[in-house]
Chains A and B, each alone.
Chain A
Amino acid sequence: MDTAADELRALSRAGALVERYPSVRGLLADADADVVRRVGRLLSRVRPEDVLTAHPGTPQVRIAVTGTGTLDGVVAPLTGELARHGLLARVRSGDFGGYVAELSDDAAPAADITLVLLDAAGVFAEVPTPWRADDVGTALADRVSLLEKLVIRFTSAGRGTLVVNTIPLPRRYPAQLVDHRSRARLGALWREANAKLLRLTEDHPSLVVLDSDALAADGVAVTEPRLSTYTKAHLSPDVLHAYAREVAHLARGLVGRVKKVLAVDLDGTVWGGVLGDDGAEGIEVADGYRGEAFQAFQKVLRQLASQGVLLTAVSKNDPEPVRAVLSGHPRIAVREEDFVRVVANWRPKHENLRELADALNLGVDSVVFVDDSPYERGLVRRELPDVAVVAVDEEPALHVDRLVADGWFTVPDLTAEDVARPARYQEELGRRDFLSSFDSIQDYLWELGVRVRVSRARPEELARVSQITLRTNQFNLTTRRLQPADVRASADDPDAYVLAVHTADRFGDNGLVGVVLAHREADVLRLDNVLLSCRVFARGVEQATLSALLAHARDTGASAVVGEYRATPKNGKVRDFLPSVGFATVTDDGDTATFRHDLTDIAPPPEHVGLTVDWNRA
């Protein structure tokens, strides 16, 4: 999606990039690396002084780049990645090969972060032709010992954070040795040098070493031979971008914007399925193909929580079943005690996140939120732009990489204080009442463009209607289960209504998500059941559907619509649904309640819903 890049380019052309700089962060929040780099290119042409004059509060980070090759390729990704975090990058790119001078010159302009980019070509430039593994070993040892001296000098001068990368070894070098023994020797020498670089961090707190091997193992090409040969850009654009991304997270830490809270959705994120509908036995927690994928994700959550990340759950569920799974499921890998708080209720998630941050005495900008629902992510992003939102989707095997793709919780050092943090915050499970109000998200719903279509179910939809009656437990007024043959019989009955509710919004088509079953008895329309997938609760869909049905009953000569609610352990939240749309309670014995609407005063559908109805039979 190019919209962010397009919008920013338009701002750039209009000369409004400086004026609108504060909006850049939001536009880049979801952008892919290409867009971030392109926007970084635009921003790198803006004078930082102008941004600071227009927006004096903008946090700025000064970055000096130096190394052994052409370095300009890192400026755009650095600028873009920092902008993604709301940070103004002031990048100073050093001369080609000037890293020795840069690092040893205490009079060089001050920088918060000095980035030294090392590459294999720089090492092989010092190696004779022809060469053997030991020649490379000698050159590497010289290089590393020089770097060590430079690091000592630089850090003892207190010149800020120094970032060095381990030197990636492209295959083109070991492949020039024809015997495996020599290749192994070269590999060992190379890694010993890199290991020495990595170990320097043990003695130098302000040194950070980025491990290139981890990037290469994920398939990031570290070099592009033509760029390397012709322009001396020995590190590929992709690997430079990956470094820039890490540096941006370091920069966040330097300006005190570290993330501390990881708030995860549960259904579809921590386990597969819908707890309220599928039950504790029906969700995918640890077994089967998908269960194993979810369990791997659970382990990573536990892993992060053990290092001081405040793990919380924010789920649209009733609290009791959630607690039962988190404390009692025999195979779940992240448990109640790993969470500092579990919020399971039916309120909009941004409200829960805001209260959660308050309760933890942290700013909402310290929260990272993970959810598989584009609706929930969109709402949180809109209402709480300071929250980092991580998208996972219906493929749980990708959850782990999505979560760790950005180093949201990366810090230079883990302190004992960090590790002890979760225990200090641990609290009882939060319990809140279900509230289906959508007042607080009204603006979002307008932007969401909710569309609802109510129509008689077509023959090919009857199986899905049956499935909804069999699987839906929460928004299910009477919990009458219907087999496909039952549904077909109703559909064929001229006095009966089998209504399918389809919804869509700007995130896409949700498909057939709701069902209304009713039948006409003389001049009364009797509701047999109303069902709605919990994926689309509280967006006005249920109100719009009932409004349409009531109007239809009135227009076709009915004197009243009657309905009932039958309590089950799972459908408590819809006990008050019919009264909330204008029905009067006729009887209520606690288990079963009956309601009546006399059709004199029908609430219109919510204004944000685009409603279409079709009462014709297929």
Chain B
Amino acid sequence: MKTIDDFVTLVGDELGLAVGPEDVGRHLDEVAGWDSVLLLTLLTALERETGRRVPFAEVLEAESLERIYTLAIGG
């Protein structure tokens, strides 16, 4: 996972959500099909893809996909 586009693809693959680049800046509540439960799946997938530790607690508090991406890549 090198770019935010890869990340969007990953979200689509793992969570089965029809998300596009336009969704990354949205508040998660406004992303179609989003459910906080999905974060459990996403957290594990992110660590597998990036090969690094993702700060779970901060991701759980994130309000957008963009923020999750930044946290996942260590930004």
Contact of B43 among A41, A42, A227 (CB under 8 A): A227
CA distance in complex: A72, B16 (Å): 16
Contact of B41 among A13, A39, A45, A73 (CB under 8 A): A73
| Contact call B33/A224, Cβ cutoff below 8 A | no
Is A9 in contact with chain B by the CB < 8 A criterion? Answer: yes
Contact of B40 among A12, A13, A39, A73 (CB under 8 A): A73
* Stretch from A199-207, A229-237, A265-273, A315-323 contacting the other chain: A229-237
| Contact call B56/A227, Cβ cutoff below 8 A | yes
| Contact call A231/B39, Cβ cutoff below 8 A | yes
How many residues on B have C-beta within 8 angstroms of the other chain's C-beta atoms?
16
Q: Is the interface of A mostly helix, strand, loop or mixed?
A: helix
| Contact call B56/A230, Cβ cutoff below 8 A | yes
| Contact call A38/B13, Cβ cutoff below 8 A | yes
Q: Is the interface of B mostly helix, strand, loop or mixed?
A: helix
Is A76 in contact with chain B by the CB < 8 A criterion? Answer: yes
Question: Which residues of B are found within 8 Å of A389, using beta-carbon distances?
Answer: none
CA distance in complex: A45, B38 (Å): 12
Instruction: Given the known inter-chain contacts A13-B18, A41-B16, A45-B33, please indicate yes or no for A230 contacting B60, CB distance below 8 A.
Output: yes
> Please, which residue of chain B has its CB at the minimum distance from the CB of A39?
B16
Is B15 in contact with chain A by the CB < 8 A criterion? Answer: yes
Question: Which residues of B are found within 8 Å of A76, using beta-carbon distances?
Answer: 41
Instruction: Given the known inter-chain contacts A226-B56, A227-B56, A230-B56, please indicate yes or no for A237 contacting B41, CB distance below 8 A.
Output: yes
Q: Nearest chain B CB to A123's CB is how many angstroms away? A: 22
Question: Which residues of A are found within 8 Å of B43, using beta-carbon distances?
Answer: 226-227
> Please, which residue of chain B has its CB at the minimum distance from the CB of A226?
B56
Is A5 in contact with chain B by the CB < 8 A criterion? Answer: yes
Q: Mark contacts of A63-97 with chain B using CB atoms, 8 A cut-off: 1 yes-contact digit, 0 otherwise.
A: 00000001011001000000000000000000000
Instruction: Given the known inter-chain contacts A45-B33, A226-B56, please indicate yes or no for A231 contacting B16, CB distance below 8 A.
Output: no
Question: Which residues of A are found within 8 Å of B40, using beta-carbon distances?
Answer: 70, 72-73, 227, 231, 233, 237
| Contact call A41/B15, Cβ cutoff below 8 A | yes
| Contact call A41/B41, Cβ cutoff below 8 A | yes
Question: Which residues of A are found within 8 Å of B16, using beta-carbon distances?
Answer: 9, 12, 38-39, 41-42, 45
| Contact call A72/B37, Cβ cutoff below 8 A | yes
Contact of A230 among B14, B15, B18, B57 (CB under 8 A): B57
CA distance in complex: A589, B71 (Å): 82
User: Which residues of A (203-230) have their CB < 8 Å from a CB of B?
Assistant: 224, 226-227, 230
Question: Which residues of A are found within 8 Å of B12, using beta-carbon distances?
Answer: 9
Is B44 in contact with chain A by the CB < 8 A criterion? Answer: yes
Contact of B60 among A39, A45, A231 (CB under 8 A): A231
Q: Nearest chain A CB to B17's CB is how many angstroms away? A: 9
CA distance in complex: A14, B23 (Å): 19
Q: Nearest chain B CB to A117's CB is how many angstroms away? A: 14
Question: Which residues of A are found within 8 Å of B33, using beta-carbon distances?
Answer: 45
User: Which residues of A (1-56) have their CB < 8 Å from a CB of B?
Assistant: 5, 9, 12-13, 37-39, 41-42, 45
User: Which residues of B (5-45) have their CB < 8 Å from a CB of A?
Assistant: 12-16, 18, 33, 37, 39-41, 43-44
| Contact call A237/B44, Cβ cutoff below 8 A | yes
Question: Which residues of A are found within 8 Å of B60, using beta-carbon distances?
Answer: 230-231
CA distance in complex: A41, B18 (Å): 12
> Please, which residue of chain B has its CB at the minimum distance from the CB of A15?
B18
| Contact call B44/A5, Cβ cutoff below 8 A | no
Question: Which residues of A are found within 8 Å of B14, using beta-carbon distances?
Answer: 38, 41
- Give the one of B12, B33, B44 with max A CB within 10 A: B44
CA distance in complex: A579, B43 (Å): 65
CA distance in complex: A73, B38 (Å): 9
Question: Which residues of B are found within 8 Å of A39, using beta-carbon distances?
Answer: 16
> Please, which residue of chain B has its CB at the minimum distance from the CB of A76?
B41
CA distance in complex: A41, B13 (Å): 10
> Please, which residue of chain A has its CB at the minimum distance from the CB of B54?
A226
Question: Which residues of B are found within 8 Å of A38, using beta-carbon distances?
Answer: 13-14, 16
Q: 5 tightest CB-CB pairs across the interface, nearest first?
A: A42-B16, A72-B37, A226-B56, A41-B16, A230-B56
Identify the A interface with B (CB < 8 A): 5, 9, 12-13, 37-39, 41-42, 45, 70, 72-73, 76, 224, 226-227, 230-231, 233, 237
Give me 7 A-to-B residue pairs in the complex whose CB atoms sit less than 8 angstroms apart, sorted by A's number: A5-B13, A9-B12, A38-B14, A72-B37, A226-B43, A227-B44, A237-B41
Identify the B interface with A (CB < 8 A): 12-16, 18, 33, 37, 39-41, 43-44, 56-57, 60
Apart from A39-B16, A70-B40, A73-B37, what are 5 other A-B pairs with CB-CB below 8 Å? A12-B18, A38-B13, A70-B37, A230-B56, A230-B60
